[in-house]
Amino acid sequence: MTAPHLDHVGLSVGDLDAQRRFYARALGLTETEETFELPEAQVRTAILRSADGLKLELVERGGSTPQEFADPLDGASIQGYFHWALNVEDLDAVYTAVLRAGADAVSPPAPAVRPGARFAYVKDPEGNLLELIQPAA
């Protein structure tokens, strides 16, 4: 039996089209693997994919309530999912790229708990937390 592996992360958003544009610019999620609409529930979805296989599902539901955390400690005060994290090769370059694409800085690149690793946090345009991690060399 093969061990489970991550397929995608799902993110509830207020504006599917704007978030698609942001994630295309910020992380290269330019391929659309799947879309789905359920008009009677006011739901639209899109699974986006990068060339190297990273996948993110964006789900827009009319009337959804935004949830925003000031930082990771604030997010940890409420049980449930509050951020997603990506390993990156060059933290400084990716951090700069996502900020240029429209993200907001939360915490700049800094040493991580893991020896030799570095991390940073940003918020996407709707306030969702994203952790960027550069593993130790």
Residue 1 has a CB neighbour count (10 Å cut-off) of 3
Residue-wise pLDDT for 98-125, tens only, equals 999 999 999 999 999 999 999 999 999 9
135 by Cβ neighbours in 10 Å (0-12 / 13-18 / 19+) ranks as middle
Residue-wise pLDDT for 25-70, tens only, equals 999 999 999 999 999 999 999 999 999 999 999 999 999 999 889 9
Question: Tell me, what's the pLDDT at 34?
Answer: 95
Q: Does the 9-61 domain belong in CATH 3.10.180.10? A: yes
Please identify, in words, the CATH class of the domain defined by 72-134: alpha beta
Confidence of residue 2 (pLDDT cuts 50, 70, 90): confident
Residue-wise pLDDT for 61-101, tens only, equals 999 999 889 999 999 998 888 899 999 999 999 999 999 99
Q: Where in the chain is the domain with CATH 3.10.180.10?
A: 9-61, 72-134
